[in-house]
Structures are given as C-alpha cells and as structure tokens.
A and B are shown apart, each in its own frame.
Chain A
Amino acid sequence: MMKPKIATDWLAACAGCHMSLLDIDEKLIELLQKVELTSSPLTDLKVPPESGVDVGLLTGAVNNDDNLHVARRMRQRSRILVACGDCAVFGGIIRMRNHWPLSEALEAAYRDNPSTVEGLIPGAPEIMRPLPDRSVGEVVKVDVYVPGCPPSPEVIFYVLNELAEGRIPALDESRLNYD
C-alpha cells in the first residue's frame, strides 16, 4: 500500500503549531514511517505536488495576498484540508488588527515608531500586500478543524494518525482546547 501523502504549510502564524507537531517527540519518527511528508516548512520541497496529497495541513491566518494564494493552492491539491490552530480556525490574535485601518498598523511599525529613523512603508513588488485578517475557513472549504494555541502535541498526533489510517478524526471535548 502507498503511504498517505501529507503536506503542511504556515500562513500568517507564529510557527507554534509546527513546533507542537515537533513536540510529539519520539512519535515523530513513528509518524514519519507511516506517512510521506512532502512539502513543509521542515523540508526543502516548497509546494505540494501537483498530483495532490491525501492530507493538507494549514496553520496560521490569511493575512495577505500570498496567504490567500497558498491556501487556495493547498485546497486544490489536498483531498482533506485541516485547519490547525486558533489562527487557521478563528483568525487568531492578528484578528485584533481588523479593528483599525491597515494603514494605521503600518504607520505604527514603520513611521510612528520610536526606534525607526526616516521611516517609510515598504511596498516594493517583491513583497506581499496585507489584507484584513481571516481564518482559513473564510477563504476555502475546510474538512477538519483543530483549535488550540497551539493544539497540544497529543491532539496533533491523534489527528494526523487518524488521517494516516484513513479515518476522519473525532475531536470530542477532551481534545478541544480554546486557549
């Protein structure tokens, strides 16, 4: 039997959900024997294979035009899409930014800022454009939601292991965590 293929990526995130994945410690070795890890911030494969993966896992919120592109591509190429962590599930802490115009947030960082000398707002074509913060589920269809900041390593292992075994994980109350 072919090993199930998994791809992971982070959008606007702190990387804590991927840390929580590494926090399964020795079980990581067990998991990596059971699945084929394709593209991920932990490997040098940069995008999910065009032929698709069984499970695509996204962490982080959709916070700029590139996040949107990456979320849509992961959706297209994944049979099952997992939104992992509070940013992906709810929009996360950056959602607080939506209370002000984006221009004010940029001002606070690059111009109206005590250590910045002769500030300007970056805007070259090479870099992305910020957008109002959204959850992954607000821009593409999500199949499995895993909340938590971050979800505990046990829950992440449970979810990936169930998916690797061909089952949709049932997240009962004991596995839900909204901190």
Chain B
Amino acid sequence: MVQRIMIEPVTRIEGHAKVSITLDDEGKVRQARLHVNEFRGFERFCRGRMYFEMPQIAPRICGICPVSHHLAAAKAGDAINGVVPTRTATLLRELMHMGQVVQSHSMHFFELAGPDLLLGFDAEPARRNVVGLIEDHPQVALKGVLLRKYGQNVISALGRKRVHPEFAVAGGVNSALTPAARDAMLGELEERISDVLDGIGIAKAWLEEHRDYAESFASFPCGYMGLVGENGELELYHGQVRLIDCQGAQVVQFDPRDYLDHIGERVEDWTYLKFPYSLKLGWPEGTYRVGPLARLNVCERIGTPKAQEQLEEWKSLNGGGPVQGTLYYHYARLVEALYALERIGQLLDDPDIMSNDLYAPSAAITGHGVGCLEAPRGTLFHDYHTDEDGRLTSVNFIIATGHNNWAMSRSVEEVARAYVDGRNLSEGMLNRVEAAIRAHDPCLSCSTHALGQMPLEVTLLAADGRILDRAVRG
C-alpha cells in the first residue's frame, strides 16, 4: 500500500496548483509532483484573429505580468510588419517593462513570499500572509505597497491602466511620455531605491542567519537560462538567449528567433504545464531554470552601479559558480528590482525618450514573427504565423513559468524528502513544500482545484491506484 499526501491548492502563488507526495510503506517520500491545472486554450482561439490584436488579447493570459505579454506580442508584431521600432518607442517599451519588474518583484517579496521569512514557515496559517505582515511589520509591508504602487504607476502613466494597459502596438507605441509623468517618476525614484535596498538588507540578513538551511533547501545542480546583452550583461528587454550548465559553462547562445532549434517541450499526462528542455542536451539532462536566480547566474555584469555591487557579492556566494539554493531566488529578485529602478533613472535621462517619433510604418506583411523578452519570472516566447492579410494561422507561447516546471517538481521532491515525515505530518512541513514552489514565483494563472475541507488530504492508494482510504486534516 502506498500513501499519498495532497496539498491543494498551493497558496500565495499566482495561479493554482496542487502537489501530490507519494510515500512508501515506511512513510518515506517516494515521489512528489506538481500538478498544474491550467488549460484555457489561447493557442487555438487566437487563430483567425488579426496579429495586431495580440497586444490586447495576449495579456489576458496573465494579469500579474500583462506587460510581458503585451510587449512580447508587440515585438512579434514588429517582425510581422517587417520593421524595427524607433529608438523612442524601444526606450518607452523598456520603461514600461521596468515598471512591471519593480511591481511584480516587490509584490512577490513583500506580499507573497516575505511572510515565510519574516513570520516563519511554522507561523499560524491564518496569519502567515500579507495581513499578518501588516500587523507585525507595518513599515516593511508599507515599503512593499509603495514599491508595487510605483511600478504600477509607471505602467499606467504610459498605458492608462495598471492591469492590461494599452500602449505598445506592432511597430511602436501609441503615445508619448509627458513631462509631468517623467517628473513624477523621477521625483520618487531615490526613495523607492532606498526601500528596495532595505528589502535586500532583510533578505540578506535572513539568508546569512539561515545559511546552512538556505544552501541545502531545494538545492540541486541544473542548467540556467536567460537573456544577455552584447557584453554578457543582464538584459530584460532584448538580447540573446544564453544557456549555461550546472558548472556555469556556456552550453549555447542563440537569437530568440531560432528558439525552435534549441528548445523542445515535453508533455506529461499528469499536468497541463509542459516541460521545456534544451534539444542539444536532451530530456531530462537538458532541463534548466529561468527567472531572477537564473539571470544572475547567467549574466557577467549589470549595467547599473548599485545592482552591479550586489552582483559582485552574488558571484562570491558560490565561488563564481551558479548559486543553486532555491531560497536565493528572493535575493536575486530584489537585486533585479534594484536594477529596474536604476534603469528607469537611466531611461528617463535619455533625451530621446521625450521624442514624438513613436511609430515605424510597415510596407508589407512578412507572415512570421517571434517576440521574446525576460518576463519577471523568466524567458517568454511568442511565435506567430499569419496569412498574407495578417490573419493568425498559428500561435505558440512558451511561458516563463513553464521553463521552471521540472525544477519546481524537483524542488518539491527535495524538500519533501528532507522535511516530510509521512507518519507525523505537520502543517509547517507542508508549508515548506509550498515555499519551495513559491520561491520560483510561479505564475500559473489557472483554476482552483480543491477537494478536501482544509489544508490537506491524505489518500491511501493501492498499488493499482484504487483509493483504499482517505483522511482529511483540518
């Protein structure tokens, strides 16, 4: 007889998932899986729409990083139009993207994952959340709220709305930056940089105090993937895709347009989220992680001074090799939020950003375009084919969180092996399993799946999969 523990839904992540842990006769963990319940079917129902509608349709995939889909769809649209956007349009799109990185990363640290660090993994579930954080650490919670608000205001200043903005179009953007909006962004910048530095202080102090824990918690060798600029610097809006192995050696670097030569996706029967991997290395050797941890491991430098200082410390954590501990995602995420704020300052100082040269007209439809950028959670690909009139004939997405699918399941397995004792279950143990997923900041945007009454349900299964008994713990 095998026993199974279900955690469902996994909370304080963006989207819903559940975890199954299969135990052997001794109550030891045999297998752990992350089941993602999302299926909405965008790849089918976008066919037949016009390609220039995609910057409005695609963001509805995800309301947390709608700007990523908005911009990736516009970039694919640029290629279908056969144009390179003007310098001003590119600067403004990157500005909006940086606003999103600030809001998404700070929300994750302060409002979703922070409570695990600041209140403790074993804190009472009813309080281990943003509400408890507001009660116990109001100043920290307020910094999170203000950082998120700042990023969202950068987005709405350009696209009129915070969620699902209307700004980028195939070939450029639809409006210029006003001097008043620029001044408002600049006026608050130093304060927000100071807030994020405080957050970095909190994350670093926690990681140092719990160093052994952080280095062993869901730590395993794997590849890392992310965009880099021409000189190997951190790049979030455009660049080349670089994949490194677990030692830090480069496996491949390629233009995003050629992604089908390098990335394949595996499907498993038990989850709707596919498993991307490197075609060169094959399955499962070619699995890798993306997102902040991966990007800091992949890049050689950062083009803004304060974030560069942090990167130098980062590179010393594992003697120059890739940092593997999953909880270091939190630190990396805040370093990127710092970079995004500093980058906003650089972009706003560029005289071209105030120009009205916003749109590059197109002479003909090319019929194909790939749009790629680094979403807050990792590398995002949109790939569109159209007929000669611009009607979409095929649409393919590889979403940032998908790349981490294998790693999230692996993290769950590592943590379950280390902390879950099938004969003596505690809520805190199961929250650690969830925390391993949460550290990847998954954006599953999917449906709730819940069967039991309260946090977990244990199902006893016979070898043939028949349910023998079921116990619900409230």
**Mask of B243-282 contacts with A, CB within 8 angstroms, 1/0:** 0000000000000000110011111111110101000000
Contact of B44 among A16, A44, A108 (CB under 8 A): A108
Query: Would B40 and A122 count as touching, CB distance under 8 A?
Result: no
The interface bits of chain A over 18-49 (1 if a CB of B lies within 8 angstroms of the residue's CB, else 0) are 11101101101100100001000111111100
Bin chain B's interface residue count.
35 or more
Interface assignment of A161: CB less than 8 Å from any CB of chain B: no
Asked if A29 and B141 make an inter-chain contact with CB atoms under 8 angstroms apart, the answer reads yes
Asked whether A66 lies within 8 Å of B37 as measured between CB atoms, the reply is yes
Q: Is there an interface contact between B129 and A47, defined as CB atoms closer than 8 Å?
A: no
Q: Are B271 and A122 in contact (CB under 8 A)?
A: yes
In the complex, which residues of chain A have a beta carbon less than 8 angstroms from the beta carbon of B443?
15
With A12-B40, A47-B454, A97-B44 in contact, is A70–B61 under 8 Å at CB? no
Q: Does B394 sit within 8 A of A, measured CB to CB? A: yes
Query: Would A127 and B37 count as touching, CB distance under 8 A?
Result: yes
Known contacts being A16-B163, A43-B12, A126-B270, is A108 close to B145, with CB within 8 Å?
Answer: no
From A32, A43, A97, name the one whose CB has the most chain B CB atoms within 10 angstroms.
Answer: A43
Q: Are B35 and A45 neighbours in the complex by a CB distance under 8 Å?
A: no
**Looking at the complex, which one of A70, A97, A125 makes contact with B40 (CB distance below 8 Å)?**
A97
Kindly state whether residue A14 has any CB partner on chain B within 8 Å: yes
Known: A22-B111, A117-B266, A128-B447. A105 touches B12 (CB 8 A): no
Q: Answer whether A11 and B14 are a contact pair too, CB < 8 Å, given A23-B152, A108-B41, A127-B272.
A: no
The answer to whether A20 and B268 have CB atoms under 8 Å apart is no
Which chain A residues in 98-155 approach chain B with CB under 8 Å?
99-100, 102, 104-110, 113-128, 130, 149-150, 152-153
Instruction: Determine if A20 and B450 form an interchain contact, defined as CB atoms under 8 angstroms apart.
Output: no
Q: Does B126 contact A (CB under 8 A)?
A: yes
B84 at the interface (CB under 8 A from A): no
23 contacts between A and B (CB under 8 A): A14-B66, A16-B62, A18-B63, A19-B162, A32-B134, A42-B111, A44-B129, A44-B431, A66-B447, A66-B450, A94-B45, A97-B41, A100-B44, A113-B43, A113-B396, A114-B383, A115-B260, A116-B266, A122-B267, A122-B269, A122-B270, A126-B33, A150-B164
Binding site for B on A (CB under 8 A): 9-20, 22-23, 25-26, 28-29, 32, 37, 41-47, 50, 60, 63-64, 66-67, 69-70, 73, 92-94, 96-97, 99-100, 102, 104-110, 113-128, 130, 149-150, 152-153, 179
